[in-house]
Structure 1
Amino acid sequence: MDKIHIRGGHRLNGIIPISGAKNAALPLMIAALLTDETLKLTNIPRLTDVRTLGKLLGVLGTDVQRSEGPHGDTLALTTPEIVSTLAPYEIVSQIRATFWVLGPLLARCRTAKVSLPGGCAIGARPVDLYLKGLQKMGAEIDLVEGYVLAKAPDGLKGAVIRSPIVSVGATHTLLMAATLADGETVLENAAREPEISDVARCLVAMGAKIEGIGTSTLRIEGVERLHGATHHVVADRIEAGTYAIAAAMAGGDVTLDGVEAETFESALSVLRAAGVGVDAHQGQVRITRNGERLQATDIVTQVFPGFPTDLQAQFMALMTTAEGESEVTETIFENRFMHVQELARFGANISLHGDKALVHGVERLTAAPVMASDLRASAALVIAALAAEGETTINRVYHLDRGFDRLEEKLSACGAEIWRAKA
């Protein structure tokens, strides 16, 4: 198993190209199940999650052709027919997003058998909302031996579905299912994340009829069939936010290239409040820090457009050396503080109080061997290591490979001393 080594204390200077968004690429790949024509996706990040999903799509009947580009891959996905409606536990247990095939399979084949999902251990994240929404559209749902058995003998029907809470996964699943349903489906209290909008725009290019893109109410008029299209995946705002925080932690002058500031403005505004220089232009965001100590700043994670839960661990790492005490409140996932004990190994002073973490800033961090517990926590450890005195070894870096495209290469190009080695 690989390990990442980081020798801290180097300022970051340079340009970091931002890859395509993992959280858009995965549902976009799944959308290929909705048509028998080719869906061509550009700006696909090189991630293990993308490869895992490609394996599942191959099992279901999708031909996946990949070609490499200078900054991202291109995938041509063609599903002339669904050869299997079974999404097996062995694959679905690896990443949660694979569960979203339930919607397209049910819409196109009127039947599906999908394992209950896996992915990072950061909370229960139940799928009740997905299933109740599909039931409103006429699906018959049973849970048998860890699998969801879904049938819609007469096809899915349009319905008004109001979610009691905002759910990205449920919105993706129901949105895709509704494109081929009979009649109009209205999704109320839908997720508004940029990745949702990116998927919706792709579906429109494929012939879907969708109104309200970017709002909390989506209206989808079902059509008989969708056709192929070519779509460029939106930039990854979580990757951009992570590198912005990394630059703030290490100090220096870094330009994030290929991302729009408004997609992660909530994170940028917090960085400004902490004393980080932020200068946004069209398609670029410049992050500067002159070496002065940052100011402790509070955050509360919220659904978009609030501060993203996927940047909470990274921001906590930044606050470990800020002046004063910061309060980090996690409202999305109940078990997303597993990185706290690992940050403590650097010398961070953090206390937990239910859904809040109080971070008491210290003068400096010291390198230590640490272990990643999930995808975003692993990024937090990288950020802490960039500023820690000495050489840090990060174990379980397979978590990083699930969500960060060529992280060592991008940071090295800006002056970080970071390298990967076999365990």
Structure 2
Amino acid sequence: MGSFIIEGRNSLEGIVDIGGSKNAALPILASTVISGREYLLENIPDIEDVKDMLEILQDMGCTVQHDNGVALIDTRGLNTSQVPEKLVRKIRSSIILMGAVLQRTGNVEIAYPGGCEIGLRPIDLHLKGLRKLGVEIIEKSGLLVGKVTEPSGCEIQLDYPSVGATENIMLFAVGIPGKTVIYNPAKEPEIVDLQNFLNTCGYSVSGAGTGSIIIEGKKPENTDTVEYKIISDRIEAGTYLSAASSMKSKIYIRNIEKSHFKSITSIYEDAGCEIRETHGTIVISNQGRIKAVEKVTTQPYPGFPTDMQAQFMASMATADGISIIEETVFDSRYKHVPELQKMGANITTIGRVAVVEGVHKLYSAEVEAKDLRGGAALVIAALGAEGTSKINNIYHINRGYEKFVQKLQNIGAVITETKN
């Protein structure tokens, strides 16, 4: 699975270029199967989750080329409605293929998705929405088997603004008769990006980012090559911000829309970091020990993202004072806590609440990444710790961060990757 070897207590300074958004790229890649045509996608991150999604498309008969942030995909050769089970169990976002494949073929067989073990992530809202749109879905031998029967647009009220459910409903509804309205949808920038991509393909979607999404079902007449550029990754940007806050630093973050991660920057400004924008570049400066933030609660966008909870905890581990973190999105997202404790962090968890009492310094240790964002938190902790740390099982981290070692080295981190 490989390891990172990190020498701590080195200041960070330099430029970080943010790559394409993982959480925008995956649903857009899945949506390419809706109609058989060619797609030229830019700003595609070179990460393991993207490689797995592209492999799924290839296994289903599509042609894929991916190099240097550009993917050329031809889905005219799609020849099955069965999504390969082995790959689905590796990547959570593969469930979004359910709505896309149903729209293309009228049928689907797909396993329950895998990914990080960060608690229950039920897909009942996905199934409920698709059923309301005219899909019969049964469970058979551990697989979800879906068949389109009487497709028709309708109004769907989501009990929770689930990102995945919003995406699956969008991908199926774009091509069925009638108008579909999703109330209480997810509002993330990645949902807006998916809407923009679908409209570029010739579909009719509006309202993404607001309290309702309106989909006028139709089949695009134009089958020319679709060209589209994915938005940049706000969580990647937030992760480097967390790293900068943990030690003396001055880093410049380029290729990011500041409004997309305002909930992240505002928290770190409260902690004492200086954050400003100049000529489209976000400049982050930290000259000393940051202050604890009294309480942070993870929430759906535009609230503080659950995907930043672990990284934030790592930076609060050495902050001056006590921070309280409440995780409301997932029920098992504190697997990084015991690993941070090995490095000297003073953290107590009670259910979904974590109390972090900042210590003056962390110390090197050998720790294990249990999931993607928790692994990133361990990197942040190791960068600020005294001594040389080893982080094992870095496959999880490479699932979501492009050129992580290289980008950290470019800003002064002493980090190497081993394959053992």
Band of TM-score, shorter chain: over 0.9
Alpha-carbon distance between aligned partners in 1 of 2:392 and 2:275, rounded to the nearest angstrom: 32
Alpha-carbon distance between aligned partners in 1 of 2:47 and 2:67, rounded to the nearest angstrom: 14
Q: 2:249 aligns with which of 247, 252, 255?
A: 252
- Is the contact between residue 260 and residue 285 of structure 1 (CA under 8 Å) also seen in structure 2? no
Partner of 2:166: helix, strand, or coil?
A: helix
- Is the contact between residue 184 and residue 220 of structure 1 (CA under 8 Å) also seen in structure 2? yes
- Is the contact between residue 6 and residue 415 of structure 2 (CA under 8 Å) also seen in structure 1? yes
The residue number in structure 1 matching 2:127 is 131
Root-mean-square deviation over aligned CA pairs: 1.1
The residue number in structure 2 matching 1:335 is 332
Counterpart of 1:390, as a letter, is G
Shift of 1:124: 1.2
Question: What is the CA deviation profile of residues 130-158 of structure 1, one whole-angstrom value per residue up to 9, with x for unaligned ones?
Answer: 1110100011110111111100145x211
Alpha-carbon distance between aligned partners in 2 of 1:148 and 1:164, rounded to the nearest angstrom: 22
The residue number in structure 1 matching 2:21 is 21
The residue number in structure 2 matching 1:199 is 194
Alpha-carbon distance between aligned partners in 2 of 1:123 and 1:252, rounded to the nearest angstrom: 34
Say if 2:113 is the partner of 1:117.
yes
- Which range moved further: 145-154 or 395-404? 145-154
Question: What is the CA deviation profile of residues 68-98 of structure 1, one whole-angstrom value per residue up to 9, with x for unaligned ones?
Answer: 2xxxx10011111430100132110000111
Question: What is the CA deviation profile of residues 1-40 of structure 1, one whole-angstrom value per residue up to 9, with x for unaligned ones?
Answer: 3110000011100000000000001111111101211111
The residue number in structure 2 matching 1:213 is 208
The 5 Å alignment of 1:366-405 reads 366-405=363-402
Alpha-carbon distance between aligned partners in 1 of 2:419 and 2:395, rounded to the nearest angstrom: 12
The residue number in structure 2 matching 1:66 is 66
Alpha-carbon distance between aligned partners in 2 of 1:386 and 1:330, rounded to the nearest angstrom: 24
Question: What is the CA deviation profile of residues 261-289 of structure 1, one whole-angstrom value per residue up to 9, with x for unaligned ones?
Answer: 11010110000000011112453211100
In structure 2, the CA distance between the partners of 1:389 and 1:217, relative to structure 1 (3 Å rule), is same
The residue number in structure 2 matching 1:99 is 95
Question: What is the CA deviation profile of residues 373-413 of structure 1, one whole-angstrom value per residue up to 9, with x for unaligned ones?
Answer: 00000000000001100000000000011000011100101
- Is the contact between residue 293 and residue 322 of structure 1 (CA under 8 Å) also seen in structure 2? yes
Partner of 1:235: helix, strand, or coil?
A: coil
Say if 2:408 is the partner of 1:411.
yes
The residue number in structure 1 matching 2:80 is 84
In structure 2, the CA distance between the partners of 1:415 and 1:368, relative to structure 1 (3 Å rule), is same
Alpha-carbon distance between aligned partners in 2 of 1:133 and 1:81, rounded to the nearest angstrom: 28
Q: 1:176 aligns with which of 147, 153, 171?
A: 171
In structure 2, the CA distance between the partners of 1:282 and 1:143, relative to structure 1 (3 Å rule), is farther
The residue number in structure 1 matching 2:235 is 238
The residue number in structure 2 matching 1:300 is 297
Shift of 1:59: 1.7
Alpha-carbon distance between aligned partners in 2 of 1:159 and 1:295, rounded to the nearest angstrom: 47
Alpha-carbon distance between aligned partners in 2 of 1:415 and 1:105, rounded to the nearest angstrom: 45
Task: Report the TM-score when normalising by structure 1.
Answer: 0.97
Alpha-carbon distance between aligned partners in 1 of 2:138 and 2:278, rounded to the nearest angstrom: 51
Alpha-carbon distance between aligned partners in 1 of 2:370 and 2:199, rounded to the nearest angstrom: 38
- Is the contact between residue 260 and residue 282 of structure 1 (CA under 8 Å) also seen in structure 2? no
Partner of 1:157: helix, strand, or coil?
A: coil
Alpha-carbon distance between aligned partners in 2 of 1:122 and 1:254, rounded to the nearest angstrom: 30
The residue number in structure 1 matching 2:41 is 41
In structure 2, the CA distance between the partners of 1:88 and 1:273, relative to structure 1 (3 Å rule), is same
Moved over 4 A (4+): none
Shift of 1:306: 0.2
The residue number in structure 2 matching 1:283 is 280
Alpha-carbon distance between aligned partners in 2 of 1:214 and 1:399, rounded to the nearest angstrom: 29
Counterpart of 1:174, as a letter, is I
Counterpart of 2:381, as a letter, is A
Alpha-carbon distance between aligned partners in 2 of 1:34 and 1:283, rounded to the nearest angstrom: 35
- Is the contact between residue 296 and residue 361 of structure 1 (CA under 8 Å) also seen in structure 2? no
Q: 1:143 aligns with which of 115, 134, 139?
A: 139
Counterpart of 2:363, as a letter, is T
Alpha-carbon distance between aligned partners in 1 of 2:255 and 2:4, rounded to the nearest angstrom: 26
- Which range moved further: 305-314 or 224-233? 224-233
- Is the contact between residue 289 and residue 318 of structure 2 (CA under 8 Å) also seen in structure 1? no
The residue number in structure 1 matching 2:104 is 108
Counterpart of 1:78, as a letter, is D
Partner of 1:265: helix, strand, or coil?
A: helix
Counterpart of 2:9, as a letter, is G
Partner of 2:402: helix, strand, or coil?
A: coil
Task: Report the TM-score when normalising by structure 2.
Answer: 0.98
Counterpart of 1:101, as a letter, is L
Residue segments in structure 1 that go unaligned for 5+ positions in a row? none
Partner of 1:253: helix, strand, or coil?
A: strand
Q: Percent identity?
A: 39
Question: What is the CA deviation profile of residues 83-134 of structure 1, one whole-angstrom value per residue up to 9, with x for unaligned ones?
Answer: 0100132110000111111101111111111111111101110111111101
The residue number in structure 1 matching 2:217 is 222
Partner of 1:305: helix, strand, or coil?
A: coil
The residue number in structure 2 matching 1:160 is 155
Alpha-carbon distance between aligned partners in 2 of 1:334 and 1:292, rounded to the nearest angstrom: 31
The residue number in structure 2 matching 1:274 is 271
Say if 2:405 is the partner of 1:420.
no
Question: What is the CA deviation profile of residues 274-318 of structure 1, one whole-angstrom value per residue up to 9, with x for unaligned ones?
Answer: 001111245321110012443344210000000000000000000
Alpha-carbon distance between aligned partners in 2 of 1:297 and 1:111, rounded to the nearest angstrom: 50
The residue number in structure 2 matching 1:12 is 12
Partner of 2:411: helix, strand, or coil?
A: coil
The residue number in structure 2 matching 1:190 is 185
Shift of 1:189: 0.6
Partner of 1:302: helix, strand, or coil?
A: coil
Alpha-carbon distance between aligned partners in 1 of 2:21 and 2:294, rounded to the nearest angstrom: 27
In structure 2, the CA distance between the partners of 1:370 and 1:262, relative to structure 1 (3 Å rule), is same
In structure 2, the CA distance between the partners of 1:87 and 1:282, relative to structure 1 (3 Å rule), is farther
